[in-house]
Amino acid sequence: MKHPETVFLVDDESALLKALTRLLKAEGFAVQAFDSAKKFLAVCRLEGPGCLLLDQSMPEMSGMELQHKLNQEDSALAVVFITGNGDIPMSVRAIKAGAVDFLTKPVNDRELLQVIRIGLEKSYVMLAEKAEIREWRQRHNALSVREKEVLLHVARGLPNKQIAANLGVVEQTVKVHRGRVMSKMGVESLAQLVLVAERLKLK
């Protein structure tokens, strides 16, 4: 069984890095291990796909801090925490910040591999989503200023008449703009358009 995806390990305990590397390699994963968050950041591309097995308690930069950094960088890497002394508030924080799971040491191989698989799937999904959003953003950028205004009003759920009044044009003009926005954005229904606007966080 071959996996093209890489599993990244970040843990300050080198003996554990070694053990996990052996296990995952035996399972056929490509593994990259780092004994600090900084080294990981210096070396790796964060776009994904991939799964990051991250120790929480480390000197200098903790696992949580690294996760925050990845979120800022809009990374598509799935994060799985693995920690020796986790507690509930900590795990809740991690999950809220998008972690796939929060495992405690020692972790069983079956559980670990399953979570890694889920993480990789999630990474693909995130990657796909990010690609989709990137596409929509490009299409959105291609809209004219007036079309963007109309899209914003439509996304807010205003009727054509109201939009026309707000923009100081006749209703017919709004209808024309709306049709053009739909075709430029590549959507087939109003519902889809609203959803895309939502995803692009246009408000």
Residue ranges in contact with other proteins by CB under 8 A:
13, 15-16, 18-20, 22-23, 25-27, 57, 59-60, 62, 64-65, 82, 84-85, 87, 104-109
Distances 195 to 68, 166, 183 between C-alpha atoms, Å: 27, 23, 15
CB of 89 to other proteins, least distance (A): 10
The alpha carbon of 37 is separated from its chain's Cα centroid by a whole number of angstroms, namely 19
* Helix 109-141 × helix 190-199 angle, to 10°: 110
CB of 26 to other proteins, least distance (A): 4
Closer residue to other proteins in complex, CB, 112/155: 112
Closer residue to other proteins in complex, CB, 76/112: 112
CB of 49 to other proteins, least distance (A): 23
CB of 25 to other proteins, least distance (A): 8
At residue 41's C-alpha, the angle toward residues 137 and 34, to 5°, is 135
Closer residue to other proteins in complex, CB, 48/63: 63
Q: How far apart are the first and last CA of the chain?
A: 46
Closer residue to other proteins in complex, CB, 64/120: 64
Residues in Cβ contact with 177 at an 8 Å cutoff, skipping those fewer than 6 apart:
146, 147, 150
Residue 203, judged by CB atoms within 10 A of its CB (0-12, 13-18, 19+), counts as exposed
Closer residue to other proteins in complex, CB, 31/143: 31
CB of 16 to other proteins, least distance (A): 5
